[in-house]
Amino acid sequence: MTRPAPRPLLALWLAVLALGLCAAAACGRPGSPPVKGPQPDRLPRYEVARDFRLPDSPTWRKATARGRLVVGAKEDQPYLGEKDPASGAYSGFDIEIARMLAASLGFDPAGIEFRTIASANRETALQNGQIDYYVGTYTINDMRKRLVGFAGPYYMAGQSLLVRADEKDINGPRDLDGRKVCSAAGSTPLQRIQREYPRARAVAYDSYSVCVDNLLAYQVDAVTTDDTILMGYAAKVPEELKVVGTPFSQEPYGIGVPRSDNALRLALDDALEAHQRNGDWTKAYDATLGLSGVPAPRPPAIDRYPAA
Among 251, 261, 269, 280, binds ligand GLU (CB under 6 A): 251
Q: Is position 232 an interface residue for ligand GLU (rule: CB under 6 A)?
A: no
Q: Is position 207 an interface residue for ligand GLU (rule: CB under 6 A)?
A: no
Cβ nearer to ligand GLU, comparing 93 with 138: 138
Helix (H, G, I), strand (E, B) or coil at 270: helix
Q: Is position 119 an interface residue for ligand GLU (rule: CB under 6 A)?
A: yes
Helix (H, G, I), strand (E, B) or coil at 273: helix
Q: Is position 184 an interface residue for ligand GLU (rule: CB under 6 A)?
A: yes
Q: Is position 153 an interface residue for ligand GLU (rule: CB under 6 A)?
A: no
The dihedral built from the CA positions of residue 138, 142, 144 and 148, taken in this order, carries a sign that is: positive
For residues 170 and 243, the answer to whether their CB atoms sit within 8 Å is no
CB of 112 to ligand GLU, least distance (A): 20
3-state secondary structure 195-240: HHCCCEEEEEECCHHHHHHHHHCCCCCEEEEEHHHHHHHHHHCCCC
Which span (17-25, 82-90, 131-139, 164-172) binds ligand GLU, by CB under 6 A?
A: 131-139
Which span (14-22, 39-47, 87-95, 181-189) binds ligand GLU, by CB under 6 A?
A: 181-189
CB atoms within 10 A of CB 122: 22
Rama region for 95: left / alpha / beta (φ>0; ψ in -120 to 50; rest): alpha
Number of residues that bind ligand GLU (CB under 6 A): 12
Q: What is the CA radius of gyration of the chain?
A: 19
CB of 179 to ligand GLU, least distance (A): 20
Among 76, 167, 213, 226, binds ligand GLU (CB under 6 A): 226
CB of 226 to ligand GLU, least distance (A): 5
Select from 72, 111, 113, 112 the least CA-distant residue to 94.
72
- The residues that touch ligand GLU, with contacts defined as CB under 6 A, are 119, 136-139, 184, 187-189, 225-226, 251
